[in-house]
Chains A and B, each alone.
Chain A
Amino acid sequence: GENVEQHPSTLSVQEGDSAVIKCTYSDSASNYFPWYKQELGKRPQLIIDIRSNVGEKKDQRIAVTLNKTAKHFSLHITETQPEDSAVYFCAASKGTGGFKTIFGAGTRLFVKA
């Protein structure tokens, strides 16, 4: 069935360093790939997304890349700050309507000051 795998499960970086989280998806028909950030005790919130017709998207310190051939997509956070510490989820979907969004297992990011 449809599956999204996410690595690593835990990531610890020094403040100012970069963090990279990687995901793979199984359904080649997936065309929408969002990333959610969940702070402790809060709801997941969308931070960036990418569609299959684009290879890369950037928003300030965060960027996402997509390799449709390999079915890989990645989240890059540069110049990390302590407030970036959270759990990050990747997800994949085939669109709106009757399609579901499947989430990866999550990556717990720690940014050490």
Chain B
Amino acid sequence: DAGVIQSPRHEVTEMGQEVTLRCKLISGHNSLFWYRQTMMRGLELLIYFNNNVPIDDSGMPEDRFSAKMPNASFSTLKIQPSEPRDSAVYFCASRGTVNEKLFFGSGTQLSVL
């Protein structure tokens, strides 16, 4: 298995543009987590899904952020419109049904100019 796959690895965009981050879960995993990492706030949990259903989105900063799981193996995190303060590394992580261990993707380094 290739592990959790995120794309793109790096994204540079201008303020006001729409940004879509993508994540492919490990085959067989059924929980998906989106985290945002900054120096100031560390690893913040934005939203997580279990069996494609959003369980807790209380960490999503604003209505500009939205996340979906169109199927059991794929998720997107969208920011529209993007702002400079959204600049961070965004990680997704997946988890299986038996073991609590989280597997992280490589992250997306987002820079909003």
Residues of A within 8 A of B95 (CB): 96, 101
Q: Is A103 touching B43 in the complex (CB atoms < 8 A)? A: yes
Contact with A along B92-103 (1 / 0, CB 8 A): 000111111110
Residues of A within 8 A of B102 (CB): 34, 46, 91, 101
Stretch at the interface among B19-27, B62-70, B104-112: B104-112
Residues of B within 8 A of A44 (CB): 43, 91, 104
B13 interfacial by beta-carbon distance below 8 Å: no
| Option from B45, B96, B101 in Cβ contact (under 8 Å) with A102 | B45
Q: A61-92: which residues lie under 8 A (CB-CB) from chain B? A: 89, 91
- Cα–Cα, bound, A97→B35 (Å): 18
Q: B66-90: which residues lie under 8 A (CB-CB) from chain A? A: none
Residues of B within 8 A of A49 (CB): 100-101
Q: How many residues of A contact B (CB 8 A)?
A: 22
Q: Is B43 touching A97 in the complex (CB atoms < 8 A)? A: no
Q: Is B48 touching A100 in the complex (CB atoms < 8 A)? A: yes
| Option from B55, B96, B100 in Cβ contact (under 8 Å) with A98 | B55
Closest chain B residue, CB of each to CB of A51: B100
List residues of A whose CB falls within 8 A of some B CB: 32, 34, 42-46, 49, 89, 91, 93, 95-98, 100-106
Sample 28 A-B pairs with CB under 8 A, ordered by A number.
Answer: A34-B101, A42-B106, A43-B91, A43-B104, A43-B105, A44-B91, A46-B101, A49-B100, A49-B101, A93-B100, A96-B95, A96-B96, A96-B98, A96-B99, A98-B50, A98-B55, A100-B48, A100-B55, A101-B33, A101-B95, A101-B100, A102-B45, A103-B42, A103-B43, A103-B45, A104-B42, A106-B42, A106-B43
